[in-house]
Structure 1
Amino acid sequence: MGLTEADLLILNLEEVKEPIPLSLSIPVREIWVAGGPVEKKAPQVLKDFRGTLRNVKSARLTMGNLKALTNGSSFLLSEGERAVYFSGRKGLSLPSFPEHTLWVAGNRKNSMGIPAEEIRRVRGEAIIYGGSRLASSWEDVDLFEAEQYPAANVYEKGMQAASFRREWKLEGHDL
């Protein structure tokens, strides 16, 4: 069955140096792009695209009940009491995050990983870590778990799924 259309595609191109062969196989209503011009970094995405394209830096965006905050690197998407935080090269410097936050975290280039202070501030109910294969990535996941936040490393466990039923849970993850 699968997806047949999407309301939103968030595309972070911060780490893209050469054009990538990314194309859309389903219709998308809006694309929010961070980290550079999609026309140069992922031009195939625009082939046959008829929706709204937003190159975002620092912004507050909405789509129906979905609220988004971005610094042009990381995105916090929230709807009611639940949120998903996609952290990019530069994390959001909010004083706190929603109580029910799923954190899709990545390794920070040119740094020694994610600071413990940020982990405590975000307080992710569940964390999907898509960093790198470097030692600092494994240390980040260990730090998440030492702080009692369930985390899964995609390099260790492959693709991950999370669900929200009163709280975020990683599917098939035991802590």
Structure 2
Amino acid sequence: MALISDGRFVEDAWRRLADEEALPKSGKVIVSLPRLDHALEIQTSEMTLGAIVPNTAEPSALMSALPRLGLVSIAFPAFADGRGFSLARLLRRAGFAGELRASGRLVADQYPHLVGCGFDTVEIPDDLAERQDESQWRAALAAYSRAYQRGYAARSSVLEARRKALRP
């Protein structure tokens, strides 16, 4: 899988564990949602936990765990399934400050909206990364300087820009 951050392909510092794989005593590990409660019970101070969740997950299922998680990865089963965008906004509104990752068959054209919803990184399959190189992801990120709705990106909204322009 290829990982994109700020429009660039980067190395992934996290390790995704299979459900049958033993939890290590240290490092950054990602576990599935069904395995999360057990992982939190045995979490050590040297271990940073992340969780991969389906885009259909209820935010309430994660609320108690959010303060102890360093990453939440939301699975996108298809690029046309936008439920992960809504889940990301809800998690950010709930105060999650860790890394928020979109994982699945996403395309570069969706990148500005992903960032606007609060995603920090995007994980895509290698075959998709071969067809959409780093330059396409950077171009997509730079395509819009403002959005119509407030997001979590550092950019201001169109409305905020208009208000500033009208002030004397």
TM, length-normalised to structure 2: 0.36
Tell which has more relative contact order, 1 or 2 (C-alpha 8 A, sep 6+): 2
* CA radius of gyration, larger in: 2
Which structure features the higher share of helix residues? 2
TM-score by length of 1: 0.35
